[in-house]
């Protein structure tokens, strides 16, 4: 992308669509740098959801009345829009869940519990989010399958030699995070998926931190399963996506049972409906699906390449500013093609929670803790870190405020 196109991103106009960014606490405007946890929601997304409630609200797939038909169409079309956005073959490959965590659990329970046993191997990475790590650990315990972790090197990149060692003919599934929510590392997911396939294994890619800020093409990655959350991509909470290759989803048993997912029920037995409804029992997230579709429209209007470029530019600036502070330690690779839009760090002598609390005194929202990667923090040798994570509406000035606030923390704690 040329510099000219990058410059044409009008952050001021984008910010106008987020009234929440105007909020003040104690006379200071909020600086929102907690986007890896949840992004803010632009007006068009909020409007789409309130329009839905005002004009089209009804339960789906059950009524023959106008409103139910309209709601059903909106809900179904949201699947088509997601499929188009990630280049899936169609709505059959797009299952709406609550979030990335539920998408992980769906595959772990519906596929893992039935397919895995002693002697099988599940390969994760040392930088997995608990959503994947804890889930597969539990499935390992229940089935007797071994769970192994691809090591990271000192720069926070995957050790691909170790990956080649671990992914062998006993490997049944590889589950890897696309972009690490702690290190910012962008993993070579196509290469990992190819490795898995060479050994007859499946691949699950956790795209919670990738889909919001870069073009993602599940067909190009050749992932068997791919997961993400609406609330991290300018969409609503309460909706996530599990992409799965159609033939795999067809072979899998349902994960949850109930109404809306069946074909025929007798007192003795039941058969299952078509994809994706087979995996979406009960009344689903209809308004949230409408909101997710609006979020995708909003993101694509800006352009995913431009969003990625802006976020990486802000993250690079933050990295450089923080790196120039002698007492700051940053985790993860240096800025470059394999680093995404967040920076986790520690200030010598200051606990991450104290730092976040000082930041909050300046109305700067950052996250402190283990970011749901406890084993990774153990490996890094720190109990916690502070994470500043960026999105399309963040500015360099906001990064400057973050860096300036470090002095207060030093004076109080270091
Ligand atoms: C990489 C990664 N995976 C999974 C999750 C879980 O997402 P959710 O809480 O929406 O299920 C997160 C959330 O922070 C994440 O960053």
Nearest C-alpha to atom 7 of ligand 1 is from which residue? 100
Question: Any idea what DSSP says for residue 118?
Answer: T
Nearest alpha-carbon partner for 232 in 86, 365, 390, 107: 390
Nearest C-alpha to atom 14 of ligand 1 is from which residue? 37
Atom of ligand 1 nearest to the CA of 101: 11
CB neighbour list of residue 69: distance below 8 Å, 6 or more residues apart: 63
Atom of ligand 1 nearest to the CA of 232: 10
Nearest C-alpha to atom 10 of ligand 1 is from which residue? 99
For residue 348, CA distances in Å to 271, 329, 400 come to 60, 8, 19
342-347 and 385-389 strand pairing: antiparallel
| Ligand 1 center–CA 130 separation, angstroms | 8
pLDDT of 234 reads: 98
| Ligand 1 center–CA 213 separation, angstroms | 14
pLDDT of 5 reads: 52
What SS3 class is residue 24? strand
pLDDT of 1 reads: 43
Which residues are known to be catalytic?
372
Q: What is the pTM of this model?
A: 0.97
How far apart (Å, rounded) are the C-alpha atoms in residues 49 and 235?
Answer: 10
Among 372, 373, 387, 389, say which to mutate for ligand 1: greatest number of ligand atoms within 8 Å of CB: 372
How far apart (Å, rounded) are the C-alpha atoms in residues 333 and 154?
Answer: 9
| Ligand 1 center–CA 14 separation, angstroms | 25
| Ligand 1 center–CA 63 separation, angstroms | 35
Query: What does the pLDDT look like over 152-179, one tens digit per residue?
Result: 999 999 999 999 999 999 999 999 999 9
For tokens 């283990």, name the residue: 370
| Ligand 1 center–CA 185 separation, angstroms | 15
pLDDT of 413 reads: 84
Report the chain's mean pLDDT, rounded to a whole number: 96
pLDDT of 62 reads: 73
pLDDT of 4 reads: 45
Nearest C-alpha to atom 12 of ligand 1 is from which residue? 208
List ligand 1's pocket residues with C-beta within 6 A. Answer: 36-37, 99-101, 129, 131, 177, 181, 206, 208-209, 229, 240, 372
| Ligand 1 center–CA 136 separation, angstroms | 15
pLDDT of 61 reads: 83
| Ligand 1 center–CA 226 separation, angstroms | 13
pLDDT of 344 reads: 98
Atom of ligand 1 nearest to the CA of 372: 14
Among 181, 226, 373, 389, say which to mutate for ligand 1: greatest number of ligand atoms within 8 Å of CB: 181
Atom of ligand 1 nearest to the CA of 131: 4
Domains of the chain: 3-42+303-413 (3.90.1150.10), 46-300 (3.40.640.10)
HEC states along 303-366?
A: CHHHHHHHHHHHHHHHHHHHHCCCCEEEECCCCCCCECCEEEEEECCECHHHHHHHHHHCCEEC
Nearest C-alpha to atom 2 of ligand 1 is from which residue? 208
Asked if residue 185 lies in contact with residue 208, where contact means CB atoms within 8 angstroms, the answer is no
Among 135, 175, 209, 231, say which to mutate for ligand 1: greatest number of ligand atoms within 8 Å of CB: 209
Q: Which DSSP string do the residues of 27-82 spell out, in sequence order?
A: TEE-EE-BTTT-----HHHHHHHHHIIIII---SSS--SHHHHHHHHHHHHHHHHH
CA 391 from chain center: how many Å? Answer: 13
Atom of ligand 1 nearest to the CA of 98: 11
Nearest C-alpha to atom 13 of ligand 1 is from which residue? 37
| Ligand 1 center–CA 47 separation, angstroms | 25
Nearest alpha-carbon partner for 199 in 137, 108, 111, 120: 120
pLDDT of 63 reads: 77
Atom of ligand 1 nearest to the CA of 37: 14
Residue stretches of the chain with pLDDT short of 70: 1-8, 414
Structure tokens at 235: 């969409």
């Amino acid at each position: 992308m040329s510099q000219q196109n990058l410059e044409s991103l009008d952050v001021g106009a984008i910010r106008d669509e987020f009234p929440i960014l105007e909020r003040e606490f104690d006379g200071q405007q909020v600086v929102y740098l907690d986007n890896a946890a949840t992004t803010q929601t632009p007006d068009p997304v909020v409007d789409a959801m309130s329009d839905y409630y005002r004009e089209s609200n009804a339960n789906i797939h059950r009524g023959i009345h106008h409103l139910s038909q309209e709601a059903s169409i909106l809900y179904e079309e949201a699947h088509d829009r997601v499929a188009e956005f990630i280049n899936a073959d169609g709505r059959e490959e797009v299952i709406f869940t609550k979030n990335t965590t539920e998408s992980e659990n769906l595959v772990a329970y519906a596929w893992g519990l039935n397919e895995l046993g002693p002697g099988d191997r599940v390969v994760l990475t040392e930088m997995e989010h608990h959503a994947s790590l804890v889930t597969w650990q539990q499935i390992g315990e229940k089935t007797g399958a071994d769970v192994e972790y691809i090591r990271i090197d000192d720069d926070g990149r995957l050790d691909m030699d170790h990956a080649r060692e671990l992914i062998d003919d006993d490997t049944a599934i590889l589950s890897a995070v696309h972009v690490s929510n702690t290190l910012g590392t962008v993993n070579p997911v196509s290469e990992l998926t190819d490795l898995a396939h060479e050994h007859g294994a499946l691949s699950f890619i956790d795209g919670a931190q990738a889909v919001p800020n870069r073009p993602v093409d599940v067909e190009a990655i050749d992932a068997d399963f791919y997961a993400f959350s609406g609330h991290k991509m300018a969409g609503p909470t309460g909706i996530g996506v599990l992409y799965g290759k159609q033939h795999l989803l067809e072979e899998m048993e349902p994960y949850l049972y109930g109404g809306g997912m069946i074909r025929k029920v007798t007192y003795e037995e039941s058969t299952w409906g078509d994809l994706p409804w087979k995996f979406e029992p009960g009344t689903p997230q209809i308004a949230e699906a409408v909101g997710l579709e609006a979020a995708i429209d909003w993101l694509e209007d800006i352009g995913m390449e431009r969003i990625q470029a802006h976020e990486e530019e802000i993250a690079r600036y933050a990295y450089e500013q923080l790196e120039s502070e002698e007492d700051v330690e940053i985790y993860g690779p240096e800025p470059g093609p394999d680093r995404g839009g967040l920076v986790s760090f520690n200030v010598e002598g200051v606990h991450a929670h104290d730092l976040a609390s000082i930041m909050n005194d300046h109305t700067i929202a950052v996250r402190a803790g283990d970011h749901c990667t406890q084993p990774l923090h153990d490996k890094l040798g720190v109990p916690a870190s502070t994470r500043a994570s960026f999105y399309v509406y963040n500015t360099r000035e906001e990064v400057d405020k973050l860096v300036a606030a470090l002095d207060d923390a030093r004076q109080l704690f270091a």
